[in-house]
Amino acid sequence: MNLYSLLRPLLFRLDPETAHHLTLTSLDLLAKLGPLNPLRQRFPSLETEVMGLRFPNPVGLAAGLDKNGDHIPGLAALGFGFIEVGTVTPRPQPGNPRPRLFRIPQAQALINRMGFNNLGVDHLVANLEKLGPRSFILGVNLGKNKDTPQDQAVEDYLTGLEKVCLLADYVTINLSSPNTPGLRDLQHGQALDTLLSRLNEKRARLAEKHGKRIPIAVKIAPDLTPEQLSEQAQCLVRHAMDAVIATNTTLDHTAVASLPHGGENGGLSGAPLRDKSTGIVRQLHRLLGNDLPIIACGGILDASDALDKFKAGARLIQLYTGLIYRGPKLIETIMASLLRSGGARTR
Ligand SMILES: Cc1cc2nc3c(=O)[nH]c(=O)nc-3n(C[C@H](O)[C@H](O)[C@H](O)COP(=O)(O)O)c2cc1C
């Protein structure tokens, strides 16, 4: 019995967002006492190089849990090899009205329609500037403001890239959250081509100015046809992207339709997303081989889910909903299992 399994019934009595803030604030306090994961020391067999960056272990925090970068030291104490903060937009915005986050415990799932509630990129930048030396990789996930017109969406990503490029190890271009109208349209055809070209131009200019080329990952939706996925994969390679994150939440609620909250609007995450998301990783790996590293995310609730993602072709994994249901012990459990199975190189 670990501490989180004792606390979880109490937390689950609270509204999900209140529980979220309470947990992160308590974590910040606990982390001041020292590392919280006994496996946090370096294990060479867990180290892995992806996007030209050295990851101390392949288990990361997915975007959305620490949107503003307010809790990075606390989260780092849990032993993540990498932490992705955001989604952050150029200007602060409140997100959708509450309630906007729902637990579906019978299915080990969540539905959210947060809508990129965040304090804006300048707040995040101020937090990143305060960080001392780091032993983990830091990613920043970028999005567009809801009220930015669709034909100016690219500018929002360029602004984000410029503001964080010296502070982040990599950035993620989030084209797949279902709660910002029009965002997922940027994943296809000419819109994707133009966005990636402009990002590359900007990245080259920033590299010339600062002497640092920042790796870019693109985060995709699980709700794509095989044709759309193939077209997208080719586009990412053509534009020399550094990784693809598969996947964000799904709009397919079939698995939870009969359960309380199953009909809420928003993206579904957790166990019902697992196989769909792993299927996308497998398809991407078939399409891309080793041309583009895959970061797998979606429905990882135990060590065998994590191993399945690596077997499907992932190089790194990210967790979100699993942490809500299983607590931070999940990170240690996955790391221990990877150590037993010879690291992340399970293929
Ligand atoms: C409450 C909540 C908020 C999220 N916010 C973001 C976000 O801001 N940006 C993003 O790229 N993904 C966001 N996600 C998606 C997660 O990063 C992840 O891709 C998805 O939940 C699937 O992983 P999981 O099944 O392990 O949760 C959010 C997920 C949840 C549950």
List the chain domain ranges: 3-340
Single pTM value for the model: 0.97
> What's the gap in Å between 63 CA and the centre of ligand 1?
6
Name residues whose C-beta falls within 8 Å of residue 37's C-beta, 6 or more positions apart in sequence: 77, 78, 79, 328, 331, 332, 335
Distance in angstroms (rounded) separating the CA atoms of residues 109 and 123: 30
Mutation pick for ligand 1 pocket among 93, 261, 269, 297 (CB with most ligand atoms within 8 Å): 269
Residues whose CB is less than 8 angstroms from the CB of residue 340 and which lie 6 or more positions away in sequence, other chains included: none
In words, the CATH class of domain 3-340 is alpha beta
Tokens coding 65: 């849990």
57/76 Cα distance (integer angstroms)? 12
Q: What is the pLDDT of residue 344?
A: 58
* Predicted local distance difference test score (pLDDT) of residue 246: 98
Dist. CA 244 → ligand 1 center (Å): 15
Work out which ligand 1 atom sits closest to the CA atom of 67. 8
Residues in the chain with pLDDT values less than 50: 346-347
Distance in angstroms (rounded) separating the CA atoms of residues 202 and 189: 20
Pocket of ligand 1 (CB under 6 A): 62-64, 67, 87, 101, 110, 112, 114, 116, 141, 174, 177, 219, 248-249, 269-270, 273, 297-300, 319-322
The pLDDT score that the predictor gives to residue 89 is: 98
Q: CB burial class (10 A; 0-12, 13-18, 19+) of residue 196? A: buried
User: Ligand 1: which of 320, 324, 325, 326 to mutate, most ligand atoms within 8 Å of CB?
Assistant: 320
CB 223 within 8 A of CB 250: yes
Instruction: Respond yes or no: is residue 177 known to be catalytic.
Output: yes
Identify the pLDDT of residue 40.
67
Query: Tell me, what amino acid is at 228?
Result: Q
The whole-angstrom separation of Cα 189 and Cα 171 is 22
Task: State both tokens at 247.
Answer: 């996947």
